[in-house]
Amino acid sequence: MKIRFLDLFAGAGGLSEGFIQAGYTPIAHVEMDKAACNTLRTRTVYHELNKTAEGQAIYESYLRGEISRGELYSKVPSELLDTVIEEAIGSLTIDDIFRRIDRLKGEAEIDVVIGGPPCQAYSVVGRSRVGEEIKNDERNYLFHYYVEFLLKYKPRYFVFENVTGLHSAKDKNGDSFFTQVLTALNSAGYQVYKHLFRTELYGIPQRRRRVILIGCRDHFSISGDISVPETGECPLTINEIFADLQHIQAGEGEIRGDGRKPFSKRNAWMVENFISDDLFSVTYQQARPTNDHDKEIYRRAVEMWNTGKLRFNYAIDQPKEKQTHKNTKSFLDRFKVIGGEEHSSHTVVAHITKDGHYYIHPDIHQNRSITPREAARLQTFPDNYFFESATNKDGRGSAYKQIGNAVPVMLARLIANALKGKLQ
């Protein structure tokens, strides 16, 4: 039995990938960001080519940089690439998006709608940085378009993902956005079950908080809430998560090719959770360049971490004569080490695109911030997941942004598996 889903505000596809790993079939992905859409297309091609040994060899050639993106895409029917709808969801585009989805699905039903509107407008950090004007941000109201898709396709279930700040965010009139979201979803004919996930309790090597609303259409029978059992912390430490990747210094490494250590063994837990495999190269094991001043801070921060002081306070721990950053009043913990012997890191967010100060690698001998591949592993993306840019050139910054904005793939798979029992 095929269970078909539609992915809205899809980003780089973390939520979608988890549902595919659980055996679901995507009808379409709708996303406005060009780089993320290219990533979704490449992943769609991967899933098609991975069905045969010949296809796997083609995809491996792409990961190694031996063929172009265009050559890769030419190996699959164009209809597959059309399942990625590169469009901003809004009043001027929604009817056309409906028409394109209708063509893609034919007579088939959409069983599940997944996705969540961009979260910046609900983010507590976003509100602190932007201030009151964020209440007028039009992204606050994108959930209304999500509801339009529910009314149009009447899926049996939906999965609505967002940041925990959705609970406390208010509009310019002081009314709760969370209440508005729930009211809109209920009015569309759905019972809504709220979950607050702490990802480290589900085996994911990262501490991340997410609100997940799971809705069931009223006239479908449902026996209580949809349970996603906690599995406990990740059995591996961060050092073990990174262990088989090449050791590199700041500014070293490659986006293409195989970024694993020669002859390194795959970790069984990583294989079981779809992160590692023996078929494809590991890409994006490339560290950003770092100046000597910041590398010295990184070294000091790791030394302090290793002796039990877990926070590097810039105003206190950096000698006055070496303080080159102007801001010594706030964000004093801007330099932070990912603990190598811990089983989960702190949250990977899109700010990693700007600098790596908050994501210092635990190995003092490498003295750098983490690579996109290391960040992707903390988000439980498969090593064979390739992150595209908006152009035909590879982009480390684009990869960081997509990874930081994503839902951990493993969390998505756990939710998909819990939901599958209800759908079947």
Annotated catalytic sites, by residue?
Answer: 119
Q: In the numeric block, which tokens belong to residue 13?
A: 């596809």
Q: In the numeric block, which tokens belong to residue 217?
A: 């259409």
Query: Which residues is 254 bridged to in the sheet?
Result: 285
Distance of CA 128 to the CA centre of its chain: 23
Which residue bears the tokens 């911030």? 369
Q: Closest Cα partner for 26 from 11, 5, 1?
A: 5
Angle between helices 34-49 and 53-63 (to 10 degrees): 150
Burial 107-133 (b: 16+ CB within 10 A, else e): eeebbbbbbbbbbbbbbeebbeeeeee
- From residue 392, alpha-carbon distances to 36, 47, 71, 180, 304 in Å are 13, 21, 12, 41, 42
